[in-house]
Structure 1
């Protein structure tokens, strides 16, 4: 049962990577071009948006890789280990960094909203930072709980 559930989660991690590849290929270049069109006075805006979004995608893949490695640790029976805590810490940092990077891109969403007269676009721009912030908080909580469980386990081993 345990390997079946981790197999499902590993598949989910792989499936989560596919939309990001499509995002990199099609959407990021368009967002950069649109930002350059909206800010013709600031010629480097396209490159700034591209750099921030591609950096967030790279960090996203680092977090997904750590999640995959965490699932491998669970399969190998090393769920309550220091390496699992480190993997959760990396996931937490990746999610927090993605949130910060997407908040830096938020002004371009404001420009789109002003140009199209659609204020809801700003809320669309807040989805990724909010979701990654939730993931960061959840990973921090799991990290803390796992650390406490490891400490309790080591205390119990020393008692016996």
Structure 2
């Protein structure tokens, strides 16, 4: 693969992290304050918002780092190696973690939908967990395919 293609993908991986960082810095505190005002009876609402959204940023950035490492392996012609399989496995676990954390926030979306009588808010709350699960399944499929390719390659290397 040409180095320019992986360079473009590396830049895209880096640029994907900037909006999430901005959301964590500027939007999450506002969401926490709004949630605390809308649900004064449920005291830990603000902290739940912080835990879910800022907590999900940690595996997100770890997955971005693993994607960056995977692109580096491709540059070094180590795409069909156990290192790539490990990176895909870590990306899969990060996506599952993000999905699980965002599923914890679904009761908040339900309460907001009840207050505003807008059931579409619940479907909006399902976007991130569903997208994360799709990424986890995709990473699992790629991991399995890569393991099979490595196995076939090792068998071919042993055949003289």
TM bin, normalised by shorter chain, reads over 0.9
1:32 aligns with 2:32: yes
Alpha-carbon distance between aligned partners in 1 of 2:40 and 2:63, rounded to the nearest angstrom: 35
CA distance in 2, matches of 1:18, 1:51: 20
TM superposition outliers: structure 1 runs of 4+ over 4 Å? none
Give 1:30 shift.
1.7
Which residue does the alignment assign to 1:135?
135
* Gap regions ≥5 residues in structure 1: none
SS in structure 2 at match of 1:80: coil
Contact 1:70/1:84, CA 8 A, preserved across alignment: yes
Question: Which residue matches 1:15?
Answer: 15
Q: Tell me, yes or no, if structure 1 residue 104 matches structure 2 residue 104.
A: yes
TM-score using structure 1 length = 0.96
Equivalent position of 1:155 in the other structure: 155
Return the TM-score normalized by structure 2: 0.96
8 Å contact kept, 1:38–1:111: no
Length, aligned pairs only: 160
Alignment partner of 2:41: what SS? coil
| Separation of aligned partners in 2, 1:61 and 1:34 | 26
Distance 1:2 1:128 in 2: 33
Moved more, 25-34 or 59-68: 25-34
